């Protein structure tokens, strides 16, 4: 699943390319979207805004129509100039939104639906999303409320739960907990409020850096050496970059997502 910074950057790029322009071309391989387009054509509408909401990407069209997409594992949006050759095969195309200046192509997008204003407000997945780490106003108190409502949940699983806080994916989960010095398997209730707030502050910083950084790879290390980007993720069995202890790896949670951690540096709250 892409991290929140990927969606945020995709939304920013699409917004810069499309917002304010009229749709000259709309195509879709998804039947439910095609049905809406038949009844209320998308071409001719103006694209008002493209924004991220957690891991959802919302495109607002004039006339009160909104396209919600979710990328899951493999979905992505590309921007091309009209006539430019696509970098992925046409069979992977799900949605095409063209203007006079740009063509936005959504490839392999598994979740996409048109919503009117009312349906957008009522959309369950969106309503339940926790505060967005990349949002301009981030409500840390609300996240803490949602965390303390899950006292038995392990902190790494809580960070991945978009209903608690939106934006963290599996890579950053391990990295953030390393930076905070907290063991990923510790239950929320055991961690002090000060430490939870620190985890959130680190999360916000890591995501922001990766949005500004604007490359497809991720960094959590402040290193000039380009081969040193991450502290623990993907480094099972290798020495910790801080203390030399071998990095451990284990699958965690109901979705069995891989977790990496240093048993020595992350011994806070071990009891």
- Which active-site residues does the annotation give? 2-3, 55
208 vs 202: CA distance, rounded Å: 10
271 vs 261: CA distance, rounded Å: 17
69 vs 36: CA distance, rounded Å: 15
* Residue at shortest CB range from Zn ion: 240
* 221 contacts Zn ion (rule: CB under 5 A): no
Q: Among 214, 242, 250, 270, indicate the residue that binds Zn ion (CB under 5 A).
A: 242
* 264 contacts Zn ion (rule: CB under 5 A): yes
* 179 contacts Zn ion (rule: CB under 5 A): no
**Cβ atoms of residues 44 and 79 within 8 Å:** no
Question: Which of 172, 261 has the CB closer to Zn ion?
Answer: 261
Q: How far is the CB of 202 from Zn ion (least distance, A)?
A: 16
* 87 contacts Zn ion (rule: CB under 5 A): no
Q: Among 243, 250, 255, 270, indicate the residue that binds Zn ion (CB under 5 A).
A: 243
- CA 204 to chain CA mean position, Å: 12
Question: Which of 59, 240 has the CB closer to Zn ion?
Answer: 240
Q: How far is the CB of 238 from Zn ion (least distance, A)?
A: 11
What's the order of all strands across the beta sheet hosting 93-98? 25-28, 93-98, 103-107, 76-80
> Vertex 2, ends 6 and 195: CA angle to 5°?
90
* 265 contacts Zn ion (rule: CB under 5 A): yes
By CB under 5 A, which span of 77-85, 89-97, 153-161, 262-270 interacts with Zn ion?
262-270
**Cβ atoms of residues 140 and 200 within 8 Å:** yes
Question: Which of 164, 180 has the CB closer to Zn ion?
Answer: 180
Letter string b/e over residues 43-72, b meaning 16 or more CB atoms within 10 A of that residue's CB: eebebbebbbbbbbbbbbbeeebbbbbbbe
Question: Which of 62, 245 has the CB closer to Zn ion?
Answer: 245
Q: Among 240, 259, 260, 261, indicate the residue that binds Zn ion (CB under 5 A).
A: 240
135 vs 141: CA distance, rounded Å: 14
Q: Which residues bind Zn ion (CB under 5 A)?
A: 240, 242-243, 245, 262, 264-265
């Amino acid at each position: 699943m892409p991290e929140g910074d990927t969606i945020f950057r995709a939304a920013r790029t699409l917004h810069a390319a499309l917002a304010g322009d009229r749709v000259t071309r709309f195509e879709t391989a998804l039947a439910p979207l095609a049905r809406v387009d038949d009844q209320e054509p998308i071409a001719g509408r103006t694209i008002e805004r493209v924004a991220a909401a957690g891991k959802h990407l919302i495109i607002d069209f004039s006339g009160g129509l909104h396209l919600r997409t979710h990328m899951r594992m493999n979905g992505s949006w590309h921007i091309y100039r009209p006539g430019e050759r696509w970098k992925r095969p046409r069979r992977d195309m799900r949605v095409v939104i063209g203007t006079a200046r740009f063509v936005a192509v959504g490839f392999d997008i598994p979740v996409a639906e048109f919503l009117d204003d009312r349906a957008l407000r009522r959309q369950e997945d969106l309503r339940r999303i926790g505060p967005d780490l990349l949002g301009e106003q981030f409500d840390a108190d609300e996240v803490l409320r949602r965390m303390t409502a899950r006292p038995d949940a392990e902190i790494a699983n809580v960070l991945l739960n978009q209903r608690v806080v939106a934006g963290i994916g599996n890579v950053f989960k391990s990295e953030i907990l390393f930076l905070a010095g907290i063991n990923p398997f510790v239950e929320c209730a055991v961690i002090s409020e000060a430490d939870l707030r620190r985890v959130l502050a680190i999360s916000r910083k890591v995501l922001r850096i990766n949005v500004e950084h604007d490359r497809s790879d991720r960094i959590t290390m402040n290193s000039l050496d380009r081969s040193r980007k991450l502290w623990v993720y993907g480094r099972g069995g290798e020495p910790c970059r801080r203390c030399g202890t071998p990095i451990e790896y284990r699958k965690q949670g109901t979705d069995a997502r891989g977790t990496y951690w240093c048993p020595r540096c992350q011994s806070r709250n071990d009891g």
